[in-house]
């Protein structure tokens, strides 16, 4: 067990308590975080990333997805693929799939892009 614990209250008001030593560390940005960043950069509001600097100087990132949105649902599916050892698609194709979903629903969903472009 590490010298610290991370307590995180997500956007659904669920409390998560994490021992940072139990989370795999990497100096590179995780592929799922790259996809989440691309979704956010494209302006979709159903995904958020929080980050905190730990006492050991490392950073802890947390991805929060609203599963009621296409982007949240897709990100959750990608997480399941990643955990089962599958290969994740590139971020641009994920954003294109989300855009296609919103185009099919006339972009009327509450979390449709907020005017940003890729």
pLDDT computed for residue 1 by the predictor: 56
- Domain span holding position 68: 24-104
Closest CA to 36 of 84, 88, 83, 91: 91
Q: pTM of the full predicted structure?
A: 0.75
pLDDT of residue 14 exceeding 80: no
Residue 4: inside a domain, yes or no?
no
Q: Running DSSP on this structure, what letter comes out for residue 23?
A: S
Note the pLDDT tens digit of each residue in 59-90.
878 888 999 999 999 999 999 999 899 999 99
pLDDT of residue 101 exceeding 60: yes
Confidence band, pLDDT 50/70/90 cuts, at residue 109: low
Residue 14: inside a domain, yes or no?
no
Burial 23-53 (b: 16+ CB within 10 A, else e): eeeeeeeeebbebbbbbbebebbbbbeeeee
pLDDT computed for residue 57 by the predictor: 81
Residue 78: inside a domain, yes or no?
yes
State how many domains the chain has.
1
For residue 53, give the H/E element and its range: strand 47-53
pLDDT computed for residue 118 by the predictor: 40
Residue 16: inside a domain, yes or no?
no
Q: What is the mean pLDDT of the chain?
A: 81
């Amino acid at each position: 067990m590490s010298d610290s614990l991370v307590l995180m209250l997500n956007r659904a008001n669920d409390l998560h308590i994490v021992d940072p030593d139990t989370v795999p560390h990497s100096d590179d940005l995780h592929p799922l975080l790259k996809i989440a960043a691309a979704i956010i950069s494209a302006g979709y509001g159903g995904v958020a990333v929080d980050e905190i600097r730990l006492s050991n100087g490392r950073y802890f990132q947390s991805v929060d997805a609203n599963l009621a949105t296409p982007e949240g649902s897709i990100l959750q599916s990608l997480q399941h693929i990643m955990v089962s050892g599958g290969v994740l698609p590139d971020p641009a194709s994920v954003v294109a799939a989300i855009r296609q979903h919103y185009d099919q629903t006339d972009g009327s969903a509450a979390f449709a892009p907020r005017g940003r472009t890729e």
